[in-house]
Structure 1
């Protein structure tokens, strides 16, 4: 909790960096290979939704996939398919592709009624007794994240993807989160917690 508080203070107190601007029109052409899996709007069912995601977050993930390939998995975010896709991209390519997908409207999902109460409680308030921080601290009450801090939008995302990523953070398989914050939180989540949050977020919009 102290680590989370410190990071939020630092993020609030520093000026936002100047990032290269992406061109969504150019990005649509450059994203042709991405569409094979993510489809035109970035919402293919078997893969994470990309549409409506913050451009800065998408750029960071592409850079992390690329870094993992270059380092043999020693750093970045490991994924053989995405690593291969990211390798030939320049920084401007990444900015353009991210601009294209972030400009697409994210389609809404729903939350089954049995997950609403428990999901809202854990998402909004965390669990003080177990030291679990509220998800809203970084992702906001509507789950839309924070573009400058590169906290992703997680509302309306597919439950299966959220579940897989929380488990990957918990196991340490995924380790490209800011200061290990997601790993700290996920380490305290049970399988039931993860299921509840994953299902709840689909209908949060």
Structure 2
């Protein structure tokens, strides 16, 4: 293993082991509190529009952190402005519990992009020291809920690609996405990827079938 790949793996493990406890959520209460989320993310968290992420089955810990980051200004999302500003941590934990309890619908991969996307996802890009996505998000795309790594399988390719490009921008530009942690794992990874590789791996991820 390349030294920098080993470093990324160790940093990811350290982050997972050192993350503080998150509030437990009530899925039933969260369903009612998520009423304003339905227009973009769907009744069950399976959005119809590919620019809006599917929240179903994404992972409670990850969902809660992202909503807290949006509320507290660590992750600016223009379309989310005002949506969670007045919600407490318990409100957000309940919403996260509701969406995480839902089953995600599957997607389709572009056949022309599958070969490259599979290579990047499962093996990384060794010559540029890009780690395999499967190391954190699992070979099947189910993620690692306790560590806070989201389940990606079946997610919209357009959304995945857009977020990777925002992470890539955030490597050097604070107007990009910068809430991936002090270790900058996502920013560093995306920074070393081309548009073609990003779009291929995003398409491959969309074709991974979510499992309960």
Same fold, judged at TM 0.5 (above): yes
Counterparts of 2:147 and 2:24, CA distance in 1: 16
2:44 maps to which of 34, 41, 45: 41
Q: Compute the displacement of 1:198 (Å).
A: 1.0
Q: Which runs of 5 or more residues in structure 1 are unaligned? A: 69-75
The Cα of 1:137 is off from its aligned counterpart by: 1.2
In the other structure, the counterpart of 2:179 is: 176
Task: Please give the per-residue CA displacement for 1:45-102, whole angstroms capped at 9, x wherever unaligned.
Answer: 221000111011110001100111xxxxxxx101133241111110100010001111
Other structure's SS at 1:113 match: coil
Give the TM-score of the pair, scaled to structure 2.
Answer: 0.88
Aligned to 2:12: 8
Match of 1:90 in 2: 88
The answer to whether the 8 A contact 1:132-1:188 is kept is yes
Coordinate RMSD, CA, aligned: 1.6
Consecutive unaligned residues in structure 2, runs of 5 or more:
171-175
C-alpha separation in 2, matches of 1:8 and 1:162: 20
The answer to whether structure 1 residue 189 and structure 2 residue 187 are counterparts is no
Deviation of 1:17 after TM superposition, in Å, equals: 4.5
Counterpart in the other structure of 2:67: 62
Instruction: Quickly say closer, same or farther: Cα 1:82–1:3, change in 2 above 3 A.
Output: farther
Query: What TM-score does the superposition give when structure 1 sets the normalisation length?
Result: 0.90
Question: Do the aligned partners of 1:109 and 1:202 also contact (CA within 8 Å) in 2?
Answer: yes
Distance 1:161 1:36 in 2: 17
* Distance (whole Å) between structure 2 residues aligned to residue 59 and residue 42 of structure 1: 14
Contact 1:55–1:98 (8 Å) recurs in 2: yes
